[in-house]
Structure 1
Amino acid sequence: MNQKIDQFDQKILQLLQQDARISHAEIGRQVHLSQPAVSERIKRLEAGGVIRAYRADISPRALGYQITAMIRISTQQGRPYAEYVAACPEIIDCYTVTGEDGAVMRVLATDVEHLQRIINELNAFGSTSTAIVLTTHVAGKPISVPAVAA
């Protein structure tokens, strides 16, 4: 870790992950710091790359996406998929991984036919394996500072 994160920073990060729109004054009340001190700490966390962005948590279902799927792709040499993945709005996460698969991605689809079109397009880059998500037990869990080994 490049930056020293103290107990105040940890609490500030926790509060911002729960509600990115919380005011600096409210954070100050909860962590027992002044609003200017909170603002300076947040600026330092942003400048240090600890806080990367502020986002809204949008419901895929509310936008018409009925299916969430995990697609693994075993890429073939010389068939780079990164450009396609970056341009495809339905692919919301993509990770290069170790093992037999080259990547694992989380995909949203409006229905089975829509999912099939995405799979067909991905098959141009290698063989795919798809699992439809039935239940989400954990998503968007707040990130905490790792415990230091004694």
Structure 2
Amino acid sequence: MNPKIDQYDQKILQLLQEDARMSHAELGRQVHLSQPAVSERIKRLEASNIIRGYRADINPKALGYEITAMIRVSTQQGRPYAQYVASCPEIIDCYTVTGEDGAVMRVLASDVEHLQRIINELNAFGSTSTAIVLTTHVSGKAIAVPSLNENKD
């Protein structure tokens, strides 16, 4: 764990993951620090790339995306899919993985025909295997900030 993180930073990270729009003044009240002290800590956490950004949690169904699917692509060396997936707005996550598959992607589609078009385009990079998500049990879970007491002997 980063030795520069103390219990105040831990609490700030936890609170920001719960509500990234929380004001620095409110954060200060909850962690018992002044607003300027909280602001400085957040700047340091951002500068050290612990806090990478702030995002809105968007409901895909409200935008017409009725299907979420996981697509695995078995790629061959030299087939550059990275540029395609970066430019395809429906592919919202893409991971290079170990094992038989070269990549696993989370994809949004408005309907089955839309999903089929995406799959057809991905087939240019290797064979695909698709699973449609029926239920999401965990999504956007906060990252646990390790306790200061962990990893100490």
Distance in 2 (CA, whole Å) between partners of 1:120 and 1:68 is 16
Distance in 2 (CA, whole Å) between partners of 1:118 and 1:125 is 12
Residue aligned with 1:123, SS: helix
Q: How does 1:78-89 map to 2 (within 5 A)?
A: 78-89=78-89
Distance in 2 (CA, whole Å) between partners of 1:104 and 1:74 is 9
TM-fit CA distance, 1:2: 4.7
Residue aligned with 1:55, SS: coil
For structure 2, list consecutive stretches of 5 or more residues without a partner in the other structure: none
CA RMSD of aligned residues (A): 1.1
TM-score by length of 2: 0.94
State the partner residue of 2:114.
114
Give the partner amino acid of 1:48. Answer: S
Q: Deviations over 1:104-141 (max 9, x none)?
A: 00000000000000000000000000000001100111
Q: How does 1:121-136 map to 2 (within 5 A)?
A: 121-136=121-136
Aligned residues: 150
Asked whether the 8 Å contact 2:13–2:145 carries over to 1, the reply is: no
The 1:113/1:144 distance shift into structure 2, 3 A limit, reads same
For structure 1, list consecutive stretches of 5 or more residues without a partner in the other structure: none
Asked whether the 8 Å contact 1:10–1:144 carries over to 2, the reply is: no
Asked whether the 8 Å contact 1:3–1:48 carries over to 2, the reply is: no
State the partner residue of 2:44.
44
Asked whether the 8 Å contact 2:14–2:145 carries over to 1, the reply is: no
TM-fit CA distance, 1:100: 0.4
Matched-pair identity in %: 85
TM-score by length of 1: 0.96
Distance in 1 (CA, whole Å) between partners of 2:105 and 2:144 is 24
